[in-house]
Amino acid sequence: MAAAIETKQLTKSYKARQAGTINVVDHLDLHVEEGEIFGFLGPNGAGKTTTIKMLLGIIYPTSGEGYVLGKEIGDMDVHRLISYLPERPYYYEHMTGLELLKFYGSLFGITDKEKFVQLLEKVNLHRDMTKPISNYSKGMQQRVGLAQSLLNDPKLLFLDEPTGGLDPIAHREIRDLILSFRDEGRTVFISSHELSEVELICDRVAIINRGVIAAQGKLTELLKGGRIEITAEDVPASLLSDFNIVDANIRTLPSGLLLDMPEENDPNSVIDAIRAHKGRVISVVPRRKRLEDLFVETVSTPGVKS
Amino acid sequence: MRPILSIAATTVGEAIRRRVLLVILLIGVLFIVVAPGLGILSARSETTVLRAFMLGVIQGVSMIIAVILTVYMIPNEIERRTIYTILSKPVQRWQFLVGKYLGAVLSLLLMMSMMSAVMGVMFFLQQQSKNPGEIADLLKGPAMYFIQMCLLAAVGIFFSTFLPPLVNFFLSIGVFLVGTFFNPLFQTLQENKNTAPMVKLIAQGVNTFLPNFANYNVQNPIINPTQQIQNEGRYFLGVTVYGVVYISILLIIGILIFDRREV
């Protein structure tokens, strides 16, 4: 599949008075395929927004290469095919939702009022399109932002914290919209702190920490390595030594025994052995690895450049 | 061209809703309205004082509006992040800057036209239309001030590409004051035989480098009809061309700086 975004050793450095040169983004190699929802994660100050700004041509890389939809970053032709929703966007508040779309549309040479209304319908704002944006709630402002980002029918959308600070209903509305973008064949590049949200909608993610990619890949692959907890009672002590499972933890509880083991192991053989020795299996609970676990593990791993 | 006009129109829309500008404009209009009453305080001709006062108000108020309007123009767009959504569209940075400048100029035109119209009406009411040509003559002042303010707006926009608003505010006003008062001083220094050659050279450099705002202070011939500009059409054309060239240079340098700036 073709790459929607490709960076090779992309670096952005700033000179600090005392600390010398700081690499905010450090030799970044990123690969985002067309048609996927890609999550770009990282703690505050990790370099997420700087990377997006470089990809949009708003700031200039210190070194390295970057390609968006096959063209070098900064190419004005690409700007006709992409769109951007910044974190906590501010729009000219004297405008109404409809006027805002007219303004942004005019930057593309789009003057079709019907299209503006259709987009406002898509984000469920058509009833409020003649109200000034200053009267919009946070969720409505985010939705009008998404509407403006669809004006040019973009192939690639950059969404910076699209659900930041929104209530659960607005969260869900935005999430559904983002999923609809993928169904329409668009590529979505999301920078976010909302890990549960990302886990629900993203196909692949990259975790950036202090300017360096710490992990990148399919969510299904990155989240491998969950565990299974088997609780049982009346298990003879002699059986415990028979469990020859790598990386297993066995704890004795007042109610019995808790066996915690990697999900790669077959729990059936353990369950069969317990039953064969007249033990009773109380529960089998798979503990799936969550994105939050991966995130914390990744950003706190020693060796990741700091 | 379309992005430039859209950005300019949005800038005007914002400017005419900025309360601080509207309050300043209102104060200016109020001063012009009460101006006919001030004539009785002067021993000089009532008309002379009225003209001088009204023109002074228009120039002063326009100067403050031009500076406030432009010093926040680029920093505000960056701080509010509106610039990111605009520059992520097919809009070049030079188009953004020119659009903002054009918006500032159109806003100034709107506000100065309003003050000039009020001035014309007040003058007409006070003079009871003794000579309608006088009003037309009086309006030459705001016309020249408009070019002067376009030049000042270009200075403000130029500085706003790399300076924070507060520094820009004082610097723009400083450039305006020096550019207004230095030229007459320069003429005196040039004519004075006792001026040291080095001082003359420095004065020549400053005079060439700084925008000559004094060019547009044509109030004396308007206030005192006995004073006249020889070949008025040629003078006005000359200073207009000077203004356009200076503005173009400032905008080009501003674009070059803004093009390289990290926003």
| List of residues 6+ apart from A107 with CB closer than 8 A | B2, B3, B6, B86, B89, B90, B91
| A148 interfacial to chain B (CB closer than 8 Å) | yes
- B87 closest CB neighbour out of A58, A60, A85: A58
Q: Looking at CA atoms only, how far is residue B138 from chain A in angstroms?
A: 36
Tell me if B71 sits within 8 A of B169, measured CB to CB.
yes
Across the range B23-38, mean pLDDT stands at 90
- A107 closest CB neighbour out of B6, B14, B260: B6
Distance CA B260, CA A273 (A): 70
Across the range A73-94, mean pLDDT stands at 88
Scan for tokens 């450095």, then name that residue: A13
Tell me if A104 sits within 8 A of B87, measured CB to CB.
no
Q: Looking at CA atoms only, how far is residue B57 from chain A in angstroms?
A: 29
Using an 8 Å CB-CB cutoff, list chain B residues near A85: 85
pLDDT of residue A304: 47
pLDDT of residue B198: 82
pLDDT of residue B117: 93
Buried b vs exposed e over A210-249: b needs ≥16 C-beta within 10 Å?
bbbbbbbeebeebbeeebbbbbbeebeeebeeebebeebe
Which range of A110-114, A194-198, A258-262, B190-194 scores highest in mean pLDDT? It is A110-114
Buried b vs exposed e over A78-106: b needs ≥16 C-beta within 10 Å?
bbbbbbbbbbebbbbebbbbbbbbbbbbb
Which range of A124-133, B22-31, B38-47 scores highest in mean pLDDT? It is B22-31
Distance CA A69, CA B88 (A): 14
Chain B residue with minimal CA distance to A99? B10
Q: Cβ-count burial of A263 within 10 angstroms (0-12 exposed, 13-18 middle, 19+ buried)?
A: middle
* pLDDT surpassing 80 at residue A141: yes
Instruction: State the Rg of chain B over Cα.
Output: 20
| A108 interfacial to chain B (CB closer than 8 Å) | yes
Q: Which two tokens stand for residue B82?
A: 């509106």
Distance CA B128, CA A195 (A): 76
| B89 interfacial to chain A (CB closer than 8 Å) | yes
* pLDDT surpassing 90 at residue B105: yes
* pLDDT surpassing 80 at residue A255: no
Each as own residue / partner, the long-range contacts of residues A194-198 (CB below 8 Å, 24 or more positions apart, any chain) are A194/A161, A194/A163, A194/A164, A195/A41, A195/A290, A195/A291, A195/A292, A195/A295, A196/A291, A196/A292, A197/A163, A197/A171, A198/A39, A198/A41, A198/A291
B90–A79 C-beta distance less than 8 A: yes
pLDDT of residue B215: 84
* pLDDT surpassing 50 at residue A149: yes
Chain A residue with minimal CA distance to B83? A58
Q: Looking at CA atoms only, how far is residue B117 from chain A in angstroms?
A: 27
Given the cut 0.90, state whether the ipTM is greater than it: no
Buried b vs exposed e over B103-115: b needs ≥16 C-beta within 10 Å?
bbbbbbeebbeeb
A60–B262 C-beta distance less than 8 A: yes
Q: Find the range with the poorest average confidence among A16-30, A255-269, A281-295, B211-225.
A: B211-225
Element (H, E) at B220: helix B219-223
Domains delineated in chain A: 3-222 (3.40.50.300), 227-288 (3.30.70)
The closest alpha carbon to B159, from B223, B75, B96, belongs to B75
Using an 8 Å CB-CB cutoff, list chain B residues near A158: 88
* pLDDT surpassing 70 at residue B101: yes
The closest alpha carbon to A145, from A112, A119, A171, belongs to A119
pLDDT of residue A305: 41
* pLDDT surpassing 70 at residue A275: yes
Tell me if B172 sits within 8 A of B162, measured CB to CB.
no
pLDDT averaged over chain A?
Answer: 87
* pLDDT surpassing 50 at residue A199: yes
Chain segment B110-169, per-residue pLDDT in tens: 999 999 999 988 888 877 766 777 778 888 889 999 999 999 999 999 999 999 999 999
| Domain total of chain B | 1
Q: Which two tokens stand for residue B169?
A: 């505010």
Across the range A242-261, mean pLDDT stands at 79
Distance CA B82, CA B84 (A): 5
| A88 interfacial to chain B (CB closer than 8 Å) | yes
B81–A107 C-beta distance less than 8 A: no
* pLDDT surpassing 50 at residue A197: yes
B90–A80 C-beta distance less than 8 A: yes
Using an 8 Å CB-CB cutoff, list chain B residues near A12: none
pLDDT averaged over chain B?
Answer: 87
| List of residues 6+ apart from B44 with CB closer than 8 A | none
| List of residues 6+ apart from A145 with CB closer than 8 A | A85, A86, A89, A91, B85
Sheet of strand A63-68: strand arrangement: A20-33, A3-16, A63-68, A71-72
Element (H, E) at A113: helix A113-122
Helices (H) and strands (E) in chain B, counts: 12, 0
Chain B residue with minimal CA distance to A158? B88
* pLDDT surpassing 70 at residue B225: no
Note down the domain range covering B143.
2-260
Q: Looking at CA atoms only, how far is residue A52 from chain B in angstroms?
A: 11
Q: What part of B 10-29 touches A (C-beta under 8 Å)? A: 10, 13-14, 17
Chain segment A288-306, per-residue pLDDT in tens: 778 888 888 888 765 444 3
Scan for tokens 């009008």, then name that residue: A144
Across the range A251-268, mean pLDDT stands at 82
Across the range A48-66, mean pLDDT stands at 92
Across the range B29-54, mean pLDDT stands at 78
B2–A56 C-beta distance less than 8 A: no
The closest alpha carbon to B214, from B237, B255, B181, belongs to B181
Distance CA B130, CA A100 (A): 50
- B90 closest CB neighbour out of A85, A89, A108: A108
Distance CA A65, CA A27 (A): 10
